[in-house]
Amino acid sequence: MAMLVLNEEQQMLRDAAKGFLAEQAPVSQLRQLRDSRDETGFSPALWQGMVDMGFVGTLLAEAFGGSAFGHVGMGQVFEQAGRNLSVSPLLSTAVLGVCALQLAGTPAQQQDMLPAIAEGRLLTALAVDEAARHAPARVAATAKAQGDGYLLNGEKRFVIDGHVANSLIVSARTAGAEQDRDGITLFLVDAKAPGVSIERTSMVDSRNAAIVRFKDVQLNSAALLGQVGQGFAVLEALLDVANAQIAAELLGIASQAFEVTVKYLQERKQFGVTLGSFQGLQHRCAHLFSEIELVKSVVIKALIALDEGDAQAPVLVSLAKAKASEVAELATNEAIQMHGGMGMTDEFDVGLFIKRARPLQQLFGDYRFHADRFATLRGY
C-alpha cells in the first residue's frame, strides 16, 4: 500500500516550483499576457526558465536529458501552476508530447524529438477532439493509405497550444466507423506541412486553444506514431496521464481560491465585525476545506498509481479528475460569493480562478464524462 505522502525529493521539487512560479509566473503575468493580446500566449523566457529548472524534463528518461522524476513529481509543479495561474506549454509538451513519444515512439522518433523537448526547442500539441464534448473514440478525420504513406483530412478542435506547436500529435481513422475504438491511428504531423491550417482561438481563461484543419496533408510512413489501427490504447493511456496533471492543477486552483477567500473573510468587516465571525460562512468554509482535503488524497493516489503502473490507474485518474472538477467548481463559486460584489470585478484576482477552472474542468472530459467512465470501469 503506497503512502499518500511526498518523499523528500518530491517535497524539494514542490518547494522549487512554489518559489519559481510565484516569482516568475504569478497571476499578474497572466493579466499582462491577456491585456497585451500576446502573440505567443505565454512567456518564452519563462519556458526557458522551466527548462533550466528541470520541470520540462520531469517525466523524461535521463537518457534524453530528463530527470525521470515521475508523475507525482510533475503533479507538484502542476499544483503550483494552478495556484499561480501560470501560463506555459507544460501540459501540451512536457506531459502529452513526452508521454506520447515514450509510449509509442520509435527509437528514431524519440532520439529526434525528446532531447529537443528537454532543451525547450520543440513544442507539441495533441489534436484529438472534433466536437464540443470530449469523445476520444469519435474520430471522423481520416488518413488514407497512399503509396508508402498517408493522406490526412479532417478537423480538430480545442487543440491546446496548437498555434505555437512545431509538431502535432493527431488521431485519425485508418479503418472502422466513426465511433469505433479499432482503426484509430496516431500520427506526428509537422505544423508547417502543406495542407495544415491552424486558427488560434482564445478561451475564457485567456489561454490558447486552436482549430486545426488538415486538407490532403501528405504523410510518409515515418509520421506513424505506434501501430496502424491500434492508436486508441495509446491515446487512453496518454489522456490518463494528462487528466491526472489537470486534476493536480485544479487542486491548486481550489486551494488558492479557498485561502484567498479565508484571508478576505478575516479582514473584511460588515456591521462592525469581520465576515469570518459569521457562523454560516464558517460552516461553508469548513465544508470546502474538507472537500479540498479529499481531492488532495485522490490526486496523489492517481499520480502514484501512474508511477507504479497500477492496473487501477485509469479508475483512479477518472475519480481524481471528476472529484477535482467538482471541488474546483465549488471552491471558485464560493470564493466569488464570499467576496460579494467585489468578487465579480476584474481588479480582484479571484475571478481569474473561476475563468481558468471552467475550461480545465472540460478539457479531456468533464465531471460527467469521468464519473461515467469510473462507473463503467468499476462494472456498474
Tens of pLDDT, residue by residue over 54-111, are 999 999 999 998 888 999 999 999 999 999 999 999 999 999 999 999 999 999 999 9
Domain parsing of the chain, residue ranges: 8-123, 125-230, 233-377
Q: What is the mean pLDDT of residues 225-247?
A: 95
Residue 239 has pLDDT above 90, yes or no: yes
Q: Residue 341: its pLDDT value, please? A: 73
* Continuous H helices in the chain: 8-24, 27-35, 44-52, 70-84, 98-104, 107-118, 231-267, 279-308, 313-338, 350-362, 367-377
More confident residue, 340 or 90: 90
Short-list 240, 302, 251, 273, CA closest to 96: 240
Residue 299, C-alpha cell as written in the block: 490526486
Q: Residue 269: its pLDDT value, please? A: 66
Alpha carbon of residue 45 to chain centroid: 21
Give me the percent of the chain exceeding a pLDDT of 70.
97
Residue 212 has pLDDT above 70, yes or no: yes
Domain 8-123 architecture = Orthogonal Bundle (1.10)
For the chain, how big is the Rg over CA atoms in Å?
A: 21
Q: What is the mean pLDDT of residues 33-57?
A: 90
Q: Residue 262: its pLDDT value, please? A: 81
Q: Residue 249: its pLDDT value, please? A: 96
Residues with Cβ < 8 Å from 217, sequence gap 6 or more?
151, 152, 153, 189, 193, 194, 195, 196
Split at pLDDT 50, 70, 90, the class of 27 is confident
d(CA 287, CA 21): 29
Structural fold of domain 233-377: Butyryl-CoA Dehydrogenase, subunit A; domain 3 (1.20.140)
Determine contact, residues 233/239, Cβ cutoff 8 Å: no
Q: Residue 314: its pLDDT value, please? A: 96
Split at pLDDT 50, 70, 90, the class of 357 is very high
Let me know if the fold of 125-230 is the same as that of 233-377.
no
Give me the percent of the chain exceeding a pLDDT of 90.
70
CATH no., domain 125-230: 2.40.110.10
More confident residue, 15 or 272: 15
The whole-model pTM stands at 0.94
